[in-house]
C-alpha cells in the first residue's frame, strides 16, 4: 500500500506528523491513508482510491462529506462575519440564535448553553461548572466525578480522567477524585446465572455503595453516554438509567448525559436520553452538532443547573471561563444549518428507516462462529470478535484480530473501526440501502478472510 519514495504523501506524513490514537507499527508498514476529498459517504485518497466511510469520519460526518447546504451556510457566514468571541457580554447574532435553537430542541423546557471547540472541552467545562457550583454553594468538598469503566469522555486532563480506559495511565491519569463504576455491558460482565434485570440492579447497587463509601457530599456529578461509543458501542443493560437515576436523585447528584455521539439523531431520536427514557440535568454535545463541518462543542444546561450556575456567577459577577472560539459565528451558522438538515431534511428519518436493515446486517454477520455478539442502537453498532463463542473467550491480543479485519476492509475500500476486539460501524445518516449492502458485503468478506487466518 505505502509509497516509500521520500517525497510521497506517506513519507511526508511519517516525517512531520505525530500520529494520535494510531497503531504505529501498523502505519509504518501500511502507510498513512492521506485523504483529499469526499463525496456522499465516500472519501478519496491521494492515489485516487475511494473508501466507503462506515464510521462517518469519527462518528460525526452524519450528512456525508459534500453537503452543499452546509458549505453554503459556512461560506455565507465567512463572507458576512468570519469570526468573533463570546466574552465581555458580546456574541454574534448566530450564537444567540443557536443557543435559542439548542434549548428549543433539547429535552429541557428552558436552559442555557455554553460553547467550546470540542467534546473534551465541553466535558471539562461541565466539570468546572460543577466545581464552581460546589464552592459557590458552600460545599467546597463536592468535587468528585463518577463515570463508568469503558466510558469515553475525551482527552483533556479532566475529560481523560473521566474516561474509563486503562490507556490513560501512560499520562499518570486519572487525576485524584475521578471514580469509575461498573460498565453496564450485560453480555460481557453479567455473572453466570444472573439475569439482565439482576445485573442492572447490581450496577445500581454498586453505584450507590460507591457514593456512600466516597461520601455523598463529596460527589459533584455523574456523567454517562447513553450508548458508550468509543468503549465499543455498548448500549446500557435493560432498565439501567431507570435504575441509576433514583440513586443519583437520592443523593442530589446531577446526571450529565454525554451526547457527543448520540446527540442529533444517531440512536433514532434527537437525544440518546430520549431513546432510553431518562431526563438528565445537562447535555454535552459536539460532533453531529455541526455535522462535523466545524469543530464545536456545547454544554446545554437544564433549568435547575442553569439557574444555580447563573446565580453563582452573578454572586461573583462573572463565570470566569471561555475559549477564544466559543460560540464562533461560522460554527454557529453551520450548526443551525446542520440541525435543520438533520431534523427537517429527512436525515433523522433515514436513521429510523435504515435501522432495521442495519440491525439485520449486524445480526446476519453475528451468525459467524467467531462473532460473540452484535449490539447497537439506531445507526451505531458493533460486532464482537471471539475465539470461542460459547465461552466468550477473546482472541489473544497479540493476534490484533479487529485491527486485521479493519485493515482488510480498508484494502477493499471500506473504512470501519477496530475498538478492543470489536468492529464498529457508525454510518452517515445519508447512507443508501445499496451502500449499506456494500458495507456489509465488504465487512463480511473481511471477517471470513481474517477468521480463516487466525482460527
Query: How far is residue 365's CA from residue 383's CA, in Å, rounded to a whole number?
Result: 8
Exposure class string for 330-359: b at 16+ Cβ within 10 A, else e = bbbbbbbbbbebbbebebbebbeebbeebb
CB of 107 to ligand PMP, least distance (A): 17
Identify which of residues 56 and 237 has a Cβ nearer to ligand PMP in the complex.
56
The answer to whether the beta carbons of residues 207 and 181 sit under 8 Å apart is yes
Closest of 268, 272, 203, 198 to residue 235, by C-alpha = 272
Q: Toward ligand PMP, which CB reaches closer, 183 or 386?
A: 183
Q: Which CB, 143 or 287, lies closer to ligand PMP?
A: 287
In the complex with ligand PMP, which residue's Cβ is closer, 147 or 408?
Answer: 147
- Cell numbers of 34, please? 492521506
Is 301 or 386 the residue whose CB approaches ligand PMP more closely?
Answer: 301
Residue showing the smallest CB distance to ligand PMP in the complex: 119
DSSP string, 247-261: HHHHTT--EEEE-TT
Task: Please state the closest distance from residue 261 (CB atom) to ligand PMP, in A.
Answer: 5
Q: 61 or 365: whose CB is closer to ligand PMP? A: 61
Q: In the complex, what is the shortest distance from the CB of residue 231 to ligand PMP, in angstroms, rounded to a whole number? A: 9
Measured from the CB atom, is 123 or 435 closer to ligand PMP? 123
User: What is the C-alpha to C-alpha distance for residues 45 and 57, in angstroms, rounded to an integer?
Assistant: 14
Choice between 286 and 408, CB closer to ligand PMP: 286
Our CB check for ligand PMP shows the closer of 156 and 421 to be: 156
Task: Choose between 144 and 266: whose C-beta lies nearer to ligand PMP.
Answer: 266
Footprint of ligand PMP (CB under 6 A): 118-120, 123, 152-154, 225, 229-230, 258, 260-261, 286
Q: In the complex, what is the shortest distance from the CB of residue 278 to ligand PMP, in angstroms, rounded to a whole number?
A: 16
Between CA 382 and CA 112 the distance in angstroms is 34
d(CA 400, CA 254): 39
| DSSP 8-state secondary structure symbol assigned to residue 170 | G
Based on CB atoms, which residue is closest to ligand PMP, 424 or 450? 424
Cβ 154 to ligand PMP shortest distance, Å: 4
Tell me the H-state helices in 298-393: 303-316, 329-344, 347-365
Count CB-CB contacts under 10 A for residue 36: 11
Q: How far is the CB of 269 from ligand PMP (least distance, A)?
A: 17
Q: Collect all residues with Cβ–Cβ distance below 8 Å to 71 and sequence separation of at least 6.
A: 293
Cα torsion angle, 266, 280, 234, 296, sign: positive
CB of 151 to ligand PMP, least distance (A): 8
* Minimum distance, C-beta of residue 279 to ligand PMP, in the bound complex (Å): 19
- On whether the CB atoms of residues 56 and 290 are closer than 8 A, the answer is no
Q: Which is nearer to ligand PMP, 57 or 361 (CB)?
A: 57
As a whole number of angstroms, the distance between CA 80 and CA 252 comes to 46
User: Where do the H-state alpha helices sit in 31-112?
Assistant: 56-59, 68-80, 93-105
Q: How far is the CB of 262 from ligand PMP (least distance, A)?
A: 8
DSSP states along 316-339 = HT------TTTT-HHHHHHHHHHH
Cβ–Cβ contacts within 10 Å for residue 299, how many? 27
Q: How far is the CB of 98 from ligand PMP (least distance, A)?
A: 17
Cα–Cα distance measured from residue 98 to residue 113, given in angstroms and rounded to the nearest whole number: 9
Distance CA 211, CA 225 (A): 19
Instruction: Report in angstroms how near the CB of residue 152 gets to ligand PMP at its nearest.
Output: 5
For residue 182, the minimal CB distance to ligand PMP (Å) is 18
Those residues whose C-beta lies under 8 Å from the C-beta of residue 426, and which sit 6 or more positions away, are 54, 55, 56, 59, 229, 233, 261, 266, 379, 380, 381, 417
Amino acid at each position: 500500500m505505502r509509497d516509500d519514495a521520500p517525497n510521497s504523501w506517506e513519507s511526508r506524513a511519517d516525517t512531520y506528523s505525530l500520529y494520535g490514537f494510531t497503531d504505529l507499527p501498523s502505519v509504518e508498514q501500511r502507510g498513512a491513508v492521506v485523504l483529499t476529498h469526499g463525496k456522499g459517504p465516500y472519501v478519496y485518497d491521494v492515489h485516487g482510491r475511494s473508501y466507503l466511510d462506515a464510521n462517518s469520519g469519527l462518528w460525526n460526518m452524519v450528512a456525508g462529506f459534500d453537503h452543499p447546504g452546509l458549505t453554503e451556510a459556512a461560506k455565507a457566514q465567512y463572507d458576512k462575519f468570519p469570526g468573533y468571541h463570546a466574552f465581555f457580554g458580546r456574541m454574534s447574532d448566530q450564537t444567540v440564535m443557536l443557543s435559542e435553537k439548542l434549548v428549543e430542541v433539547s429535552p429541557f423546557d428552558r436552559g442555557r448553553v455554553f460553547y467550546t471547540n470540542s467534546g473534551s472541552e465541553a466535558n471539562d467545562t461541565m466539570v468546572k461548572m460543577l466545581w464552581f457550583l460546589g464552592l459557590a454553594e458552600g460545599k467546597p468538598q463536592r468535587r468528585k466525578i463518577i463515570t463508568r469503566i469503558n466510558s469515553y469522555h475525551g482527552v483533556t486532563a479532566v475529560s481523560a480522567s473521566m474516561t474509563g480506559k486503562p490507556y490513560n495511565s501512560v499520562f499518570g491519569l486519572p487525576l485524584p477524585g475521578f471514580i469509575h463504576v461498573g460498565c453496564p455491558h450485560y453480555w460481557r460482565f453479567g455473572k453466570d446465572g444472573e439475569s439482565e434485570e439482576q445485573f442492572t440492579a447490581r450496577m445500581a447497587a454498586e453505584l450507590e455503595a460507591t457514593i456512600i463509601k466516597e461520601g455523598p457530599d463529596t460527589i459533584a456529578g455523574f456523567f454517562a453516554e447513553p450508548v458508550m461509543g468509543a468503549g465499543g458501542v455498548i448500549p446500557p443493560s435493560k432498565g439501567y438509567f431507570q435504575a441509576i437515576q433514583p440513586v443519583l436523585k437520592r443523593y442530589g447528584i446531577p446526571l450529565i448525559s454525554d451526547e457527543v455521539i448520540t446527540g442529533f439523531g444517531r440512536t433514532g431520536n434527537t437525544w440518546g436520553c430520549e431513546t432510553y427514557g431518562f431526563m438528565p440535568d445537562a447535555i454535552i454535545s459536539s460532533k453531529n452538532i455541526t455535522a462535523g463541518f466545524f469543530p464545536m462543542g456545547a454544554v446545554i444546561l437544564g433549568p435547575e443547573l442553569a439557574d444555580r450556575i447563573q446565580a453563582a456567577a452573578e454572586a461573583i459577577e462573572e463565570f470566569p471561563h471561555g475559549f477564544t472560539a466559543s460560540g464562533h459565528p461560522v460554527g454557529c451558522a453551520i450548526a443551525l444549518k446542520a440541525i435543520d438538515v438533520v431534523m427537517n431534511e429527512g436525515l433523522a428519518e433515514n436513521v429510523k428507516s435504515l435501522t432495521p436493515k442495519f440491525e439485520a446486517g449486524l445480526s446476519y454477520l453475528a451468525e459467524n462462529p467467531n462473532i460473540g455478539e452484535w449490539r447497537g442502537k439506531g445507526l451505531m453498532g458493533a460486532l464482537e470478535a471471539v475465539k470461542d463463542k460459547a465461552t466468550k473467550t477473546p482472541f489473544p491480543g497479540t493476534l490484533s484480530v479487529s485491527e486485521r479485519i479493519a485493515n482488510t476492509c480498508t484494502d477493499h475500500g471500506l473504512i470501519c473501526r477496530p475498538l478492543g476486539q470489536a468492529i464498529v460501524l457508525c454510518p452517515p445518516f445519508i447512507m443508501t440501502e445499496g451502500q449499506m449492502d456494500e458495507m456489509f458485503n465488504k465487512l463480511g468478506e473481511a471477517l471470513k478472510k481474517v477468521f480463516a487466518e487466525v482460527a
